[in-house]
Amino acid sequence: MAILLDMTRTHVPVLAGELIDILDPHPGDTAIDCTFGAGGHARLVAERLGASGTLVCIDRDPVAAQRFDEFAAEVPCETRFLAMEFSEGLRLLREEGLHVDLAYLDLGVSSMQLDAWERGFSYSYDAPLDMRMDPDQELDAREVVNEWDERRLANAFRSYGDERFARQIAREIVKRRRKAPLETTSELVDAIRAAIPAPVQREFGRGHPAKRVFQAIRIVVNDELGSLDQALPLAWDVLRPGGRLGVISFHSLEDRRAKRFIADRGRGCICPPDLPVCVCGRTPEAEVLTSRAVVPTPGEIADNPRAKSAKLRAARKVDA
Ligand SMILES: C[S@@+](CC[C@H](N)C(=O)[O-])C[C@H]1O[C@@H](n2cnc3c(N)ncnc32)[C@H](O)[C@@H]1O
């Protein structure tokens, strides 16, 4: 599928001021933006890095790659783009021996992706079941919806969407696809609606009954949790001592991973408490910069409702 670059579609960066305050980019620093998107965070970072700084941007979506060209021409620092999955990009940078002052990830999908109706990320538009961030990837939403067995679908809806009617929705999808494969987002929305009791649907108010299932399928199609698990240690490896890592997440399972990753590195001695002296010799690798997750202000949420579930966690790599 050809993906159009529509400059009217844009993305408002979330927790942008907070990310900059905490990661504190300096003139001449080297930074990695692992999730370039529309370059909202990258632009703020690039301005801080100035002409002597370097910013490496990564994104697996070709629309982000197209946006990058315009961005690179406008910002003062040296730039480079890696059109690939971020853990692959970080591995490549580590192999090149790059050491950076800051690295950050702003997870999930961009508004540009959600608003590109033809890509099937949104339940609000009728489109082919796709949801791939990287359109060259094989697995798409159509395959998940039509080929995964009922139990696997239900598990995904429950685990990644917190969907209370996971089993019923999975059963309805399997029943419908026996007659003909589900091809479009509207067919999927119809199946979801048919599986959720009408009185419950009325409770959704302005919410959408398909929101959780769409989120779950998107996470599965793009292996979002697996990518994050691989990326965090790689990003940590490329940080030089004193370097800062920031993670903005939109899902509790992502936030839990970021929180645990940072807490593990921030922990010193792990000897049993009844030992009189430390025998493990372990010292903290990280200074935790966010003792609790930083969340958007009510004002930011009012201006940009997509910020609602965002959480930022950050850490500094301590000097060896
Ligand atoms: C929330 S948006 C980032 C928006 C960006 N910070 C901005 O201010 O414009 C997330 C971006 O990360 C990309 N992305 C998500 N997971 C990725 C992964 N595993 N590898 C590479 N890119 C990824 C998506 O394609 C999307 O463009």
Atom of ligand 1 nearest to the CA of 227: 19
Residue whose C-alpha is closest to residue 109's, from 46, 147, 60: 60
Instruction: Look at ligand 1, atom 13, and give the residue with the nearest C-alpha.
Output: 35
Instruction: Look at ligand 1, atom 24, and give the residue with the nearest C-alpha.
Output: 109
Question: Where does ligand 1 bind, in terms of residues with CB under 6 Å?
Answer: 11, 13, 35, 37-41, 58-61, 64, 85-86, 106, 108-110, 133, 227
Whole-prediction pTM: 0.93
Q: 113: CA distance to ligand 1 center in Å?
A: 10
Burial tier of 171 (Cβ tally within 10 Å: 0-12, 13-18, 19+): middle
Each of the 320 residues of the chain gets a pLDDT tens digit; together they read 455 555 555 789 999 999 999 999 999 999 999 999 999 999 999 999 999 999 999 999 999 999 999 999 999 999 999 999 999 999 999 999 999 999 999 999 998 999 898 999 999 999 999 999 999 999 999 999 999 999 999 999 999 999 999 999 999 999 999 999 999 999 999 999 999 988 777 776 667 889 999 999 999 999 999 999 999 999 999 999 999 999 999 999 999 999 999 999 999 888 988 998 999 888 999 999 999 999 999 999 999 999 999 999 999 999 76
Confirm if 12 and 304 have CB atoms less than 8 A apart.
Answer: yes
Burial tier of 304 (Cβ tally within 10 Å: 0-12, 13-18, 19+): middle
Confirm if 71 and 39 have CB atoms less than 8 A apart.
Answer: yes
Q: 107: CA distance to ligand 1 center in Å?
A: 6
Query: Residue 221: what are its φ and ψ, rounded to 5°?
Result: -60, -40
What is the pLDDT at residue 204? 67
Q: 108: CA distance to ligand 1 center in Å?
A: 6
Q: 242: CA distance to ligand 1 center in Å?
A: 25
Atom of ligand 1 nearest to the CA of 85: 20
Cα separation, 267 vs 253, whole angstroms: 21
DSSP code of 72? H
